[in-house]
Amino acid sequence: MGIALGDNSYGKTGNHLFKVLRSTDQHEVRDYRVDVELTGDYAAAHIDGANADVMATDTMRNTVYAIAAQHEFDAPERYGMQMVDYLLTQPRVTGATVRVVEQRWARIVVDGRPHEHSFTKAAGGKHTATVAGSASGRSVTSGIVDLDVLKTTNSGWAGFLEGGYRTLRDTDDRILATSITATWTYGASEAGEPDYAKVWDGVHDRIASTFTDHFSPSAQNTIYRMGRAVLEQFAEIDRISFELPNKHHISYDLEPFGLENDKQIFWVTVEPFGLIKATVQRD
């Protein structure tokens, strides 16, 4: 029986890149966590210990900062493509994947005016992007993570399967709380490359507004509504996938203390939690 090397890859994870744009008095910042992964013909390194054509992961880290210094970019997707384009020029590399998570920063408002060079962390989730490239082309996936949303009413959960061990009661008035993760892919477009930053802002706003605009009988139904709303507005997006953990807010029983609880006091569970996933796509 023969033995052979199977699929393999390697890279540098957790590179924290921070860039300040100082072309005007009103500075801008780019705050990225960057993961780099390469695939290629590395059999000699694994089998024979020959490293001649193997880029050190330390060099990958340096590349993260060097590429950022030499290029302008207004979105993680564009920076990811610049990184991938460079990495694919290296010996034995047949595939490069760059994953970026952007921490967004908002200007601090002083006396009603945004400050030129002072910021606070922006609420409303982080911007993610994954760029994968090879000789056959590039693919771009954009996304949102840590979009924490909650509504105190206009949500229910009723009429569900008994399942043999059901204890949960039907309700037509509950707190719906979750932290949305969404990822989407782009289709071919005659208009060329999307304006990634503009699309991300629009998708973010569409998801958030759709979360508010209906009675939610389930997280599943809300996912579908959010996905449909995004695809209806953005023709350049082919499909969008969601993950919604259910952050349970449970009415606390105060009767033992002679106190009433009219949907005011809740305890928030950490684990276990429901996790709902779905993709909405074009036919």
**pLDDT of the residue at 152:** 98
Span 110-159, pLDDT tens digits = 999 999 999 999 999 999 999 999 999 999 999 999 999 999 999 999 99
Do 129 and 218 fall into the same domain? no
Could you tell me if residue 4 is inside a domain? no
Give the count of domains, the chain.
2
204 noted as active-site residue: no
The burial class, CB within 10 Å (0-12 / 13-18 / 19+), for 12 is: buried
Do 85 and 194 fall into the same domain? no
> 133, 162, 194 — which closes off a domain?
133
**pLDDT of the residue at 189:** 72
User: How many CA atoms does the CB half-sphere of 173 hold within 13 Å?
Assistant: 4
Do 15 and 106 fall into the same domain? yes
Could you tell me if residue 17 is inside a domain? yes
**pLDDT of the residue at 1:** 77
Range of the domain at 271: 145-281
Could you tell me if residue 167 is inside a domain? yes
Do 186 and 251 fall into the same domain? yes
In the predicted model, is pLDDT for residue 223 greater than 80? yes
Could you tell me if residue 140 is inside a domain? no
**pLDDT of the residue at 188:** 79
> 133, 167, 186 — which closes off a domain?
133
Do 150 and 263 fall into the same domain? yes
* Mean pLDDT across the chain: 96
Q: Rounded distance, CA 82 to CA 70, Å?
A: 10
From the list 19, 27, 71, 248, the catalytic residue is 248
Span 230-246, pLDDT tens digits = 999 999 999 999 999 99
Do 156 and 78 fall into the same domain? no
Could you tell me if residue 258 is inside a domain? yes
Do 200 and 239 fall into the same domain? yes
Mean pLDDT across 24-29: 96
**pLDDT of the residue at 192:** 84
In the predicted model, is pLDDT for residue 46 greater than 80? yes
> 101, 133, 165 — which closes off a domain?
133
In the predicted model, is pLDDT for residue 218 greater than 90? yes
From the list 19, 27, 57, 141, the catalytic residue is 57
Could you tell me if residue 139 is inside a domain? no
Do 277 and 157 fall into the same domain? yes
**pLDDT of the residue at 159:** 95
Do 23 and 112 fall into the same domain? yes
117 noted as active-site residue: no
**pLDDT of the residue at 129:** 98
From the list 12, 127, 204, 247, the catalytic residue is 12
CATH number of the domain that residue 126 is part of: 3.10.270.10
Do 15 and 119 fall into the same domain? yes
Could you tell me if residue 2 is inside a domain? no
Do 182 and 219 fall into the same domain? yes
Do 161 and 259 fall into the same domain? yes
71 noted as active-site residue: no
Structure token digits, residue 145:
């993570």
**pLDDT of the residue at 174:** 96
Phi and psi angles of residue 117, each rounded to the nearest 5 degrees, phi first:
-145, 25
Q: What percent of the chain has pLDDT over 90?
A: 97
